[in-house]
Structure 1
Amino acid sequence: MNKKIQILTLGAVMLVSSCFMTGCSSKKNELMNYRVKASGTAMQITNDTTQDYLSKDICVIPKKGQTKKQDAVMTAGASLMVNDTDGKMLYSHNIYKKLYPASITKIVTAFVALKYGNLNDTVTISHSAANITEYGAKLCGFKEGDRIALKDLLYSFLIYSGNDAGVAIAEHIAGDTKSFAVMMNREMKNIGAKHTHFVNPHGLHNNKHYTTAYDLYLVFHHLAKNRTFMDIVSRSNYTAKYVDATGKSKSLYFTSTDRYLLGTAKAPTGITVIGGKTGTTNNAGSCLILYSKGKKNKDYISVVLKAAGPYALYGQMNHLLDYGTK
């Protein structure tokens, strides 16, 4: 056995052992049928149900390793609850089913913007950003020619879920929304989220714009390590300051779309909601991804996609959060 093969083999053994020790799943054979291969100097572990690139602290949930007996309360299209501290699956259903994410898309836009953008940059709102005409599209209300720091734009975008801010961010980073979507898809694949395809930065409906609960978990897991992102999604409101096309100082006040942060939804006793991102369209239903803390200071990521409405969404999310108190 040559030195390169020895290194690859040792790396594979260490990575698999690490996943078992962190309790990624309840099945002993969870990593069976994976294959290890060299790609340049990178290590890859692949199969047809999970990611190409494994972070050492990712919870791996093979398709057959999902919760076998479905809970009658969980009627959403897909749902997932992970102990993110220990990398342990607590509940999962249809997590590889391709569904429309609506505005949860915006966390991936943030992922790209935080990686490639400078938060101190000044963004000028374009005509296309200021003139979204799709019925029901939520807008921050920025006008063509307005100039705003990327940081303020990103806070407005995630907290209020304004689609005009999403277009402005995409154009600033990549030149146009189509090129930005290419970046989104590339970055998702780079973290192993290979069941995702995006065509816009905001999540307004398109039949070719979809993801999975597991892919959203993967990107949120990475974003949770970013202090700026976590500060944004934990806020119940934000005042964005900017200047208009004439140079006049302006401000807009935004409130969160997350009912936990607004106090109109209450998490189970023992759970502290840190923050997250909502999403709603007719095709996507009601969606929410959430970061929370439970007993012994454990962190949790929970996802509900395609619930029948806000009442069902928060009821089912609370049911998932209950797992974090047990």
Structure 2
Amino acid sequence: MKCIDKLLSLLLVACLGLGLVSCGSESTDQTSYDLETTSYQYGITKVNNISDVSFYGSNLCVTDQDNFGIDQVDSHVAGAGGVFNLATGQCTYGQNLFGKMYPASTTKILTCLVAIEQADLDTQVTVSAHAADQTSDSSVANLAEGDAMTLKDLLYGLMLRSGNDAAIAIAETIGGSEEGFAKLMNEKAAALGATHSHFVTPHGLHEDDHYTTVYDMYLIFQAAVQNETFLQVISTPSYDVSYTGADGQAKSQTWVSTNRYLNGKESAPAGFTVVGGKTGTTYEAGYCLVLYSYNDQNQPIISIVYNSDCTLNLYYLMNELLYTFGEAPS
């Protein structure tokens, strides 16, 4: 009987070994999705110890469809979009969910998250000549070379005013350079499962090799909204900042959110409370918006529109998405 028990034990150990051999000997995150088939292949994480095994994405909204629900709204005014109910774990709308898209300034969602996680927000930052040197048509927080303020203040200039100057100042402070910070961005995106994205800059001005997908941006944004500091920043309609100029004199200005739901230029459908989000616009990316809101059942909703043809249609479609796909399932 003891020999039989010993044999069974050895067989069990062998089976477990075969089951884990494909994961390797080191802890890895093997989550991936294939844009060609839009099928998901969920791996396991923390496989060094059998007691640490957990399935990646167990609390995420998951779908294997690229397009659904697009005939119920005016989807033709945009290139891509998605609606994700974080309470139910459902993706309720999908338009080109896994297609390659240019994110424009919605890139700053990841910039903000990396900054919050990587640095002390009380750090004093001095704006470099490179950060302050932006073109006349660039979205800026009106920073000048030598301006000094806290990293936390810069986050408001980044997310409310969508300052490209603030983005570069943050990147240089944390990553040493834009390139160094982009490395941190790509590492964070990969860790979140956003494996079909690549980031080159902290601000999102067009680069051919700077791209994401609607689903990847959902993955990044859903992680960001778990952070209280991030939520505080994106939910602020306007921010009064006081700082010091290069000459040592006090300076101040007010940054107003570019999000039309927050600045009073647009109203969400009845029953929805908008928390905040991030806008983005370039010629190549079109008009973009990543939004966090609550429906009348107090369920958190992430909704995304990419590559809309104009501002009015961007918000019109966003309202359609919330009204049609943001409600709690009946």
State TM-score, norm by structure 1: 0.86
Letter of the 1:222 partner, please give it: A
Secondary structure in 1 aligned to 2:75? coil
2:306 is aligned with 1:305? yes
Deviations 1:24-71 (A, max 9, x none): xxxxxxxxxxxx745623463444245867333111222x36416633
Give matches, 1:86-105, under 5 Å: 86-105=88-107
In 1, Cα distance between equivalents of 2:150 and 2:294: 31
Letter of the 2:252 partner, please give it: S
Give matches, 1:8-87, under 5 Å: 37-38=23-24, 40-42=26-28, 44-48=30-34, 49=38, 50=40, 54-62=56-64, 64=65, 66-67=67-68, 70-75=71-76, 76-87=78-89
What is the root-mean-square deviation of aligned Cα atoms in Å?
A: 2.3
In 2, Cα distance between equivalents of 1:277 and 1:283: 17
In 2, Cα distance between equivalents of 1:311 and 1:180: 34
Letter of the 1:130 partner, please give it: A
Deviations 1:220-277 (A, max 9, x none): 1001110110111111100112111122121111100000111211111111111100
Secondary structure in 2 aligned to 1:246? coil
Check 1:285–1:4 CA distance in 2 against 1; reply closer, same or farther (3 A cut): farther
**Counterpart contact for 1:103–1:161, Cα < 8 Å:** yes
Counterpart residue number, 1:19: none
2:90 is aligned with 1:118? no
**Counterpart contact for 1:153–1:240, Cα < 8 Å:** no
**Counterpart contact for 1:295–1:324, Cα < 8 Å:** no
In 2, Cα distance between equivalents of 1:303 and 1:164: 25
In 1, Cα distance between equivalents of 2:272 and 2:141: 31
In 1, Cα distance between equivalents of 2:25 and 2:203: 33
- Quote the sequence identity (%): 41
**Counterpart contact for 2:110–2:220, Cα < 8 Å:** yes
In 1, Cα distance between equivalents of 2:173 and 2:310: 34
Letter of the 1:268 partner, please give it: P
Letter of the 2:130 partner, please give it: S
In 2, Cα distance between equivalents of 1:4 and 1:305: 49
Q: Which has the larger displacement, 199-208 or 50-59?
A: 50-59
Counterpart residue number, 2:257: 256
Counterpart residue number, 1:127: 129
Secondary structure in 2 aligned to 1:160? coil
Check 1:142–1:47 CA distance in 2 against 1; reply closer, same or farther (3 A cut): closer
Counterpart residue number, 2:187: 186
**Counterpart contact for 2:66–2:97, Cα < 8 Å:** no
Secondary structure in 1 aligned to 2:184? helix
Check 1:210–1:45 CA distance in 2 against 1; reply closer, same or farther (3 A cut): closer
Secondary structure in 1 aligned to 2:130? helix
**Counterpart contact for 2:42–2:57, Cα < 8 Å:** no
In 2, Cα distance between equivalents of 1:223 and 1:81: 16
In 2, Cα distance between equivalents of 1:288 and 1:205: 16
In 2, Cα distance between equivalents of 1:165 and 1:65: 35
State TM-score, norm by structure 2: 0.85
Check 1:5–1:255 CA distance in 2 against 1; reply closer, same or farther (3 A cut): farther
Counterpart residue number, 2:228: 227
In 2, Cα distance between equivalents of 1:52 and 1:122: 41
- Alignment gaps of 5+ in structure 2: 1-10, 44-55
Check 1:67–1:38 CA distance in 2 against 1; reply closer, same or farther (3 A cut): farther
Counterpart residue number, 1:164: 165
**Counterpart contact for 1:70–1:93, Cα < 8 Å:** no
Q: For residue 303 of structure 1, report the CA deviation from its aligned partner.
A: 0.3
Secondary structure in 2 aligned to 1:296? coil
Q: Which has the larger displacement, 135-144 or 146-155?
A: 135-144
In 1, Cα distance between equivalents of 2:41 and 2:327: 29
Which residue, out of 80, 105, 108, partners 1:106? 108
In 1, Cα distance between equivalents of 2:173 and 2:14: 43
In 2, Cα distance between equivalents of 1:218 and 1:41: 21
Q: Which has the larger displacement, 172-181 or 245-254?
A: 245-254
In 2, Cα distance between equivalents of 1:68 and 1:298: 20
Q: How many pairs were matched up?
A: 300
Q: Which has the larger displacement, 120-129 or 41-50?
A: 41-50
Greater radius of gyration (CA): 2
Counterpart residue number, 2:5: none
**Counterpart contact for 1:84–1:298, Cα < 8 Å:** yes
